[in-house]
Amino acid sequence: MSTVPALDAVELTVGYGSDPVVEGITLSLRPGESLALVGTNGSGKSTLLKTMLGLIPSLAGSLQVLGGAPGSPPKRIAYLGQAHTARFVVPIRSVEVVRMGRFAALGLFGRTSARDRQLVAEAMTHMEVTHLADQPLRSLSGGQQQRIYLAQVIAHDADLLVLDEPTGGLDISGRERYREMVEAALARGAAVVTATHDIGEAATCDQVLLLNRRIVAQGPPQQVLNTARLLETFGITLQGIQHDDHHDFVIGEMPHGHEHGHEHDHDHRH
Dump pLDDT digits (tens) for 178-230.
Answer: 999 999 999 999 999 999 988 889 999 999 999 999 999 999 999 999 889 99
Measured CA to CA, the distance from residue 98 to residue 30 in angstroms comes to 27
The CATH fold of domain 7-251: Rossmann fold (3.40.50)
Average per-residue pLDDT in the chain?
A: 87
Compute CA distances 93 → 49, 88, 145, 196, 234, whole Å. 28, 11, 11, 28, 39
- Residue by residue, pLDDT tens for the chain (270 residues) are 778 999 999 999 999 998 999 999 999 999 999 999 999 999 999 999 999 999 999 999 999 999 999 988 888 999 999 865 546 667 899 999 999 999 887 765 668 889 999 999 999 999 999 999 999 999 999 999 999 999 999 999 999 999 999 998 999 999 999 999 999 999 999 999 999 988 889 999 999 999 999 999 999 999 999 889 999 998 877 655 454 554 555 444 444 444 333 333 334 333
User: What is the distance between the alpha carbons of residues 72 and 60, in angstroms, rounded to a whole number?
Assistant: 19
Alpha-carbon span 101 to 149, nearest angstrom: 9
Integer Cα distance of 14 and 39 in angstroms:
15
Phi/psi at 189 (nearest 5 deg)?
Answer: 100, 5
Cα-based angle 193, 61, 83 (whole degrees, multiple of 5): 35
Residue 125 has, within 13 A of its CA and on its CB side, a CA count of 6
Where in the chain are the domains? 7-251
